[in-house]
Amino acid sequence: MFPFLTNIPVLCFHDIATPGGMSLERFRAHLDTICRMGFRTISAQELLQICLGKGEIQGKPIVITFDDCHVSNWIHAIPELKKRGMGGIFFAITDFIIPGPLRTRETAPSFKPASESFVQALRYQDYSQFMTRNELIAVLADHNMEVYSHTSRHQGCFRNLTRVATVGTGHWSAHGIYDQPSDNLPTYQLGSAYAYNGYWPGSSDNDPNSLHKRSDEERMAFCVRDFQKSFATMKELNQADKQFICWPWGEFDEMTIKAAKQAGFSGAFNLDRFVNGPGTDPFQLHRIPVSHRKSVKWLRSRLLMHASRPGAMVFRKFFRKKS
């Protein structure tokens, strides 16, 4: 394919071989499919240079990313990538990074579903289900892969006051919204605290869980604080000149991008499916989410579509709502 017609697919995986996550067998089959189709993995730094018109497209490039840095990525994803000579990019929630050993299958904790892992982290400050600082350093130094920011806290907010559940029965992100969470507190329609003003605790000194609607100024200040903190942590860890951020749930708007630029980031990854290549805005790097339910047949069809710029543009126009 001519380079000017080539598109660079960016895949987004999460936890591997966890309850409710993608099975190890399916993950291996996905990686084998990528190899058989002739793709070669490139780094975020290479992708940035191509988007800026400073790097050449060679062959069939692809980018493989993992959100959250669940410990299963360390135990399973990295070894499987290494076996195939592939690289990966791992987006870490920097408040969840704590010192710890390099764990093995024998010494790692039993994998919990992603939702329970987040509840442990947000409500109880138990980060054992996520990669340790030493493991992230090893990803960089020993495995020559990349680690970047997934924000400081992966913070959710209530988008409106339409009640849907309680903290004990609803989405895990509610455990990180209330100042003093308890299972019987109501939850409402959820979204990213970086992309929506939303409703937030703090409207009453007498009730720390009382909700108020944030202003644009409050959200902007929150985003800048969170992004600057995460940027500093990640810069110290990976020592990279160009830093990237990955939006929680893929949600963002112009204010989110403005805050990320102010914090010092050079690019951002979302979950929108579109073109990646020369001329792509580095703060609009598009990814294809690969859930645990997606088959090899599904992956192959998406890669065939997204390997070319025309194909990616057609997909966005006609199939954006479907997958």
Helix (H), strand (E), coil (C) string for the chain:
CCHHHECCCEEEECCECCCCCECHHHHHHHHHHHHHCCCEECCHHHHHHHHCCCCCCCCCEEEEEEEECEHHHHHHHHHHHHHCCCCCEEEECHHHCCCCCCCCCCCCCCCCCHHHHHHHHHHHCCCCCECCHHHHHHHHHCCCCEEEECCCCCCEEEEEEEEEEECCCCCHHHHHCCCCCCCCCEEEEEEECCCCCCEEECCCCCCCCCEEECCHHHHHHHHHHHHHHHHHHHHHHHCCCCCEEECHHHCCCHHHHHHHHHHCCCEEECCCCCCCCCCCCCCCECCEECCCCCCHHHHHHHHHHHCEHHHHHHHHHHHCCCC
C-alpha dihedral over 36, 57, 46, 252, to 10 degrees? -90
Structure tokens that stand for 21 in this block: 């996550």
Q: Cα 184 to chain center, whole Å?
A: 29
Residue 147 corresponds to which amino acid?
V
Pairwise CA distance, residues 264 & 249, whole Å: 21
Q: Looking at residue 322, what is its pLDDT?
A: 43
pLDDT value at residue 321: 44
**Beta carbons within 10 angstroms of residue 252's beta carbon:** 24
> Which segments of the chain have a pLDDT < 70?
1-4, 203-206, 208, 315-323
Residues 6+ apart with CB under 8 A from 55: 46, 49
**pLDDT score of 179:** 85
Domains and their CATH numbers in the chain? 3-153+244-251+265-319 (3.20.20.370), 156-215 (no CATH)
Q: Write down the pLDDT at residue 323.
A: 43
